[in-house]
């Protein structure tokens, strides 16, 4: 992920890095200039003052440029990351999306992305300070090469300790990130379950204390361990620094010629180096935080293969006949280590035919609907569209045949169908037909409100399905939330109208009062079709299609 981001922002990154390096170099020049001024004679003071002023202005400009550019980079990286993850989510096969889970995706889009973006705010500090520390060491080498070698030894020792502690710290930070993914799931339960939590005090207490509370605490504890280890290694680095200063000043600095300038130089450089070194030690952990966050995003996006599903403008064939042959789909349940197996299913659909899919709870009706509409391409068997097998690269086009109102449907704020003339009028006509014209209107391609009852919102979803005008419609227990009057409207007016329009319709229902209205009734039990397309309705809707 990090290399990808760096590649995407290469130009800006190079400019920002250059400005940071220059600002580090000017800082070192400034300190050398100060040291020279302290020991210079009055004749050369005027030229030294001009040089000092020039360097100070250049330093200010470079700092401003590097910080501004890196800030821009940070925002750009955040935007790139969010778009990248969102693209992966949009393009991954639905079954894969379900496996990854929305909590981890939310976590990647928010916290992990933010942590990666913070890296870009830390980078100028790290780069500038690295140049200052290296430059100061170089200046020390010019003053005394023995001290320089000694400094390298101390830095090596510090680096080994620092690295060992860091490995442990990263382990904690990674565990904290995994726990945080779970925490996002609990946050979702906190908002989605707002009603249930308010109604049940004990449930609320257990959830808040034991589930959400422990997860919050887990993230806090693991992050604190990780960050404390960083603090320990930072302090170790600082201690080595002061030990080094002490040794140089009191042990290594002998009595030689030019000793005053050497000693002043050391004192000045050391004091000057402390702040950049601290900045370095404080900001390096942020790189690790960003690395951990980037690797989490990598894990999540790797589980969501991209670009395999979506075609830019798929060729959607006209629907003449759709057939499922020996189709199977399996869910694996990790906790109970067992499977739910749908199929083998043999089933066919033709335009102008209304098929009812019935069966007990958990019998696999919704799963079968998802297979029919191509959200789960079959694991076994095949789907034939107009007699031709749908191949791996054909599923995106295939899915464009369907409009579905799932029982857990989602209504987008805007009507996202291709904008067309008269969309508002058509929408408002349909709203009137579904008796919603006094509650909501379609204006500028959007519903004026969604603050409606569940049954009314489902009617909006039906309006959307009508507007999509696709050849195959699927309703997953659409009528379950409707009052008797609207059940009647749905089964006796809407479905016959769709049939007259030549749509193929699959209706998942428990409304046995209306079973006789289906052209065909298909019954599922424990994932198996009980009636292989045989249970024909006694009194079909109208113009019964020939049995398939």
**Residue 364 in the binding site for ligand ATP (CB under 6 A):** yes
In angstroms, the CA 217 to CA 220 distance is 5
CB of 389 to ligand ATP, least distance (A): 24
Nearer CB in complex with ligand ATP: 96/295: 96
In angstroms, the CA 233 to CA 239 distance is 10
> Residue 208, class by beta-carbon neighbours within 10 Å (0-12 exposed, 13-18 middle, 19+ buried)?
middle
**Residue 191 in the binding site for ligand ATP (CB under 6 A):** no
Interface mask toward ligand ATP for 109-128; x: CB under 6 A: --------------------
Q: Quick one: which of 179, 493, 548, 125 has its CA closest to 346?
A: 548
546: number of Cβ within 10 Å: 7
CB of 461 to ligand ATP, least distance (A): 17
Nearer CB in complex with ligand ATP: 359/540: 359
Nearer CB in complex with ligand ATP: 144/509: 509
Nearer CB in complex with ligand ATP: 71/98: 98
CB of 454 to ligand ATP, least distance (A): 15
Q: Quick one: which of 409, 529, 546 has its CA closest to 477?
A: 409
Contact 37, 59 (CB under 8 A): no
In angstroms, the CA 307 to CA 405 distance is 26
Contact 352, 344 (CB under 8 A): no
Residues 319-338 that bind ligand ATP (CB under 6 A): 331
Q: Quick one: which of 480, 495, 477, 506 has its CA closest to 543?
A: 495
Q: Which of 42, 191, 361, 454 binds ligand ATP (CB under 6 A)?
A: 361
**Residue 340 in the binding site for ligand ATP (CB under 6 A):** yes
The pair of structure tokens assigned to 441 is 């209107």
CB of 400 to ligand ATP, least distance (A): 23
What are the two backbone dihedrals, phi and then psi, of residue 525, each rounded to the nearest 5 degrees?
Answer: -145, 125
Q: Quick one: which of 503, 434, 451, 452 has its CA closest to 474?
A: 503
**Residue 365 in the binding site for ligand ATP (CB under 6 A):** yes
**Residue 363 in the binding site for ligand ATP (CB under 6 A):** yes
* Binding span for ligand ATP by CB under 6 A among 146-154, 244-252, 314-322, 365-373: 365-373
Nearer CB in complex with ligand ATP: 424/535: 535
Nearer CB in complex with ligand ATP: 307/362: 362
Q: Classify 406 in phi/psi space as left (phi over 0), alpha (psi -120 to 50) or beta.
A: beta
**Residue 341 in the binding site for ligand ATP (CB under 6 A):** no
Q: Could you give the 3-state DSSP secondary structure of residue 518?
A: coil
356: number of Cβ within 10 Å: 26
Q: Which of 24, 185, 265, 359 binds ligand ATP (CB under 6 A)?
A: 359
Nearer CB in complex with ligand ATP: 84/514: 514
**Residue 104 in the binding site for ligand ATP (CB under 6 A):** no
Nearer CB in complex with ligand ATP: 135/359: 359
* Binding span for ligand ATP by CB under 6 A among 31-39, 235-243, 356-364, 462-470: 356-364
43: number of Cβ within 10 Å: 7
**Residue 185 in the binding site for ligand ATP (CB under 6 A):** no
In angstroms, the CA 396 to CA 86 distance is 18
Q: Which of 366, 428, 531, 548 binds ligand ATP (CB under 6 A)?
A: 366
Interface mask toward ligand ATP for 136-165; x: CB under 6 A: ------------------------------
* DSSP structure string for 44-87: GHHHHHHHHHHHHHHHHHHHHHHHHHHHHHHHHHHHHHHHHHHH
Q: What does DSSP assign to residue 14? A: H
Nearer CB in complex with ligand ATP: 99/205: 99
CB of 92 to ligand ATP, least distance (A): 14
Q: Site residues (CB under 6 A) for ligand ATP?
A: 98, 331, 340, 359, 361-367
């Amino acid at each position: 992920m990090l290399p990808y981001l760096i590649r995407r922002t290469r130009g800006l990154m190079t400019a920002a890095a250059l400005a940071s390096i220059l600002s580090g170099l000017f800082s070192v020049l400034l300190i050398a200039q100060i040291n020279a001024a302290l020991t210079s004679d009055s004749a050369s003071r005027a030229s030294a003052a001009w040089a000092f002023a020039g360097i100070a202005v250049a330093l200010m400009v470079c700092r401003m440029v590097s910080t501004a550019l890196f800030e821009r980079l940070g925002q750009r990286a955040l935007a790139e990351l969010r778009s990248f993850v969102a693209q992966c989510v949009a393009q991954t096969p639905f079954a894969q999306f379900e496996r990854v889970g929305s909590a981890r995706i939310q976590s990647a889009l928010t916290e992990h992305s933010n942590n990666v973006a913070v890296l870009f705010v830390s980078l100028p500090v790290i780069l500038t300070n690295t140049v200052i520390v290296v430059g100061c060491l170089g200046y020390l080498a010019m003053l005394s090469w023995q001290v320089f070698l000694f400094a390298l030894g101390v830095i090596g020792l510090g680096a080994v300790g620092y690295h060992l502690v860091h490995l442990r710290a990263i382990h904690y930070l990674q565990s904290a990130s995994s726990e945080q993914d779970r925490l996002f799931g609990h946050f979702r339960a906190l908002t989605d379950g707002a009603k249930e939590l308010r109604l049940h005090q004990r449930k609320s207490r257990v959830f808040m204390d034991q589930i959400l509370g422990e997860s919050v605490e887990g993230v806090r504890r693991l992050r604190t361990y990780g960050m404390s280890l960083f603090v320990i290694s930072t302090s170790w680095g600082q201690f080595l620094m002061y030990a080094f200063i002490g040794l140089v000043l009191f042990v290594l600095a002998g009595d030689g010629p030019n000793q005053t300038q050497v000693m002043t130089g050391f004192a000045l450089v050391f004091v000057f180096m402390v702040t950049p070194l601290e900045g370095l030690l404080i900001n390096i952990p942020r790189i690790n935080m960003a690395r951990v966050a980037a690797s989490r995003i990598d894990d999540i996006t790797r589980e969501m293969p991209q670009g395999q599903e979506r075609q830019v403008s798929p060729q959607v064939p006209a629907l003449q006949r759709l057939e499922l042959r020996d189709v199977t789909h399996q869910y694996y349940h990790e906790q109970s280590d067992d499977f739910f197996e749908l199929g083998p299913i043999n089933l066919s659909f033709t335009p102008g035919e209304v098929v009812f899919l019935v069966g007990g709870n958990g019998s696999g009706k919704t799963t079968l609907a998802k297979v029919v509409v191509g959200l789960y391409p079959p694991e076994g068997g095949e789907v034939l569209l107009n007699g031709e097998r749908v191949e791996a690269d054909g599923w995106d086009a295939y899915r464009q045949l369907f409009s579905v109102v799932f029982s857990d449907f989602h209504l987008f704020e805007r009507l996202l169908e291709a904008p067309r003339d008269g969309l508002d009028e058509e929408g408002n006509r349909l709203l009137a037909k579904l008796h919603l014209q006094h509650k909501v209107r379609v204006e500028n391609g959007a519903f004026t409100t969604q603050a409606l009852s569940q049954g009314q919102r489902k009617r909006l979803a039906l309006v959307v399905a009508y507007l999509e005008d696709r050849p195959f419609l699927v309703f997953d227990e659409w009528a379950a939330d409707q009052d008797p009057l609207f059940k009647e409207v749905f089964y006796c007016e809407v479905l016959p109208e769709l049939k007259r329009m030549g749509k193929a319709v699959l209706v998942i229902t428990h409304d046995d009062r209306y079973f006789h209205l289906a052209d065909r009734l298909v019954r599922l039990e424990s994932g198996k079709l009980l009636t292989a397309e045989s249970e024909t309705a006694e009194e079909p809707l109208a113009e019964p299609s020939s049995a398939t």
